[in-house]
Chains A and B, each alone.
Chain A
């Protein structure tokens, strides 16, 4: 009797141990399965999030949304290390000035800013032989004025060129109502304007009337009738260009410099 009971208990213990081992193995197997499923699900979710993130911004053409400021990295990189003083980019003592008469709403100015100006900035302006100055010549329409005033006010905080270049890269359709306070503020933030309150106060003040009027008067006195128009000034005089190709600008720099 005693022997049979011991045998039963031994068998029971063996069976329990085997079941426990089996349960542990099954738990490990299930755990591995769930981890793998979670891993695949996570990868799929992350890829979906990245795809949505990449496509979301591109759909918003024309610089409408405040959170859709394009070209910040390129502009920062282009202007990095170059001094800015108001509308002047480059060394204040540079012998030659290349003055661009432009309008922030002008699409040709935007193309000039992206395709021609970078070459001038990265060579002549960066080396200190030329300073590049923007002078307002507003011809596109009513939305040009607040846009220009916003850029000029950014210039008080040393960010005129960042502002202007970002504005160009986020231009909407001319006078379509896109130059809103929110749009201008988003450009200011992206351009690195530190004190937004001060910038807001300045751009809405009447400080810029004379700058706008002077720019227009000068452009007209030089015979310009479109934007961008280029004036090159140096120790040997000044030259108002009929076009705005880089070769013309460089040739004029040689002549007046």
Chain B
């Protein structure tokens, strides 16, 4: 069993890494640009310029930043608010990342390495958040144990 403290530290590290990736994508895409694919190939430009890079006018990388900030906050918050908040955020982030990866593979026909990196970080964040919620969730929701003072 992982100690909850270690799980929270892992969640913080993953969220910080994800935040860095999402921030880079958002900055690179601001003003009509695109992140630079390290391995070349133009996939990042194609993905950045596809119609799916925005969601109701908001760049999906900005949504990524929001997701990682929430994961960071949930890792910092002790107790069940942090545990289940992190789990919920991780689930949404992972589900949406999976959908975006599907779009890259089968609709846009281009892969952006930065988006893949973010999807992997989101999947790991979910794994950590789920472990924390499953192993430690619900504890302080139970009534406190009352030591009887009139035990006859």
Q: Indicate if the CB atoms of B56 and A56 lie closer than 8 Å.
A: yes
Q: Which residues from 219 to 234 on chain A have a C-beta closer than 8 Å to any C-beta of chain B?
A: none
Q: In whole Å, how far is A208's beta carbon from the nearest beta carbon of chain B? A: 23
Query: Which residues 1-41 of A have a CB within 8 angstroms of B?
Result: 8, 11-12, 15-16, 19-20, 23-24, 26-32, 34-35, 38-39, 41
Q: Which residue of A is nearest B136, CB measured? A: A31
- Give B30 Cβ to nearest chain A Cβ, in Å: 11
Across the A-B interface, give the 5 residue pairs with the lowest CB-CB distance, nearest first: A31-B138, A57-B51, A42-B91, A46-B95, A23-B142
Instruction: Identify the A interface with B (CB < 8 A).
Output: 8, 11-12, 15-16, 19-20, 23-24, 26-32, 34-35, 38-39, 41-43, 45-46, 49-50, 52-53, 56-57, 60, 65-70, 72-73, 76-77, 182, 185-186, 189-190, 192, 194
CB closest residue in chain B, given A170 = B51
Contact A12 B137 (CB under 8 A): no
Contact present for B42 and A38 (CB under 8 Å): no
Q: List 26 A-B contacts (CB under 8 A).
A: A8-B152, A11-B151, A16-B147, A19-B146, A23-B142, A26-B141, A26-B142, A27-B138, A27-B141, A30-B141, A35-B133, A38-B88, A38-B133, A41-B88, A42-B91, A43-B95, A46-B91, A56-B55, A56-B56, A57-B51, A57-B54, A67-B48, A77-B109, A190-B49, A192-B45, A192-B46
In Å, the complex CA distance between A45 and B92 comes to 7
Residues of A within 8 A of B55 (CB): 49, 52-53, 56
Complex CA distance for A31 and B87, rounded to whole angstroms: 12
Task: Check B50 against A34 for contact (C-beta < 8 Å).
Answer: no
What is the interface residue range for chain B against chain A?
35 or more
Asked if B143 and A26 make an inter-chain contact with CB atoms under 8 angstroms apart, the answer reads yes
Task: Judge if B115 is at the interface, Cβ distance under 8 Å.
Answer: no
Q: How many A-B residue pairs have CB under 8 A?
A: 131
Q: Mark B123-152, 1 if CB is under 8 A from A, else 0.
A: 000000000011001110111011110011
Contacts of A28 in B (CB 8 A): 138
Known: A31-B133, A31-B138, A41-B88. A16 touches B145 (CB 8 A): yes
Q: Is B134 touching A31 in the complex (CB atoms < 8 A)?
A: yes
Q: How far is the CB of B67 from chain A (nearest CB, A)?
A: 11
Residues of chain B lying within 8 A (CB to CB) of residue A190: 45-46, 49-50
Say whether B108 faces chain A, with CB atoms less than 8 Å apart.
yes
Least Cβ–Cβ distance between B80 and chain A, in angstroms:
7
B25 on the A face (CB < 8 A): no
Cα distance A117–B53 when bound, in Å?
A: 29
- The listed residue (A26, A34, A68) touching B84 by CB distance below 8 A is A34
CB of A249 to closest CB in B, whole Å: 29
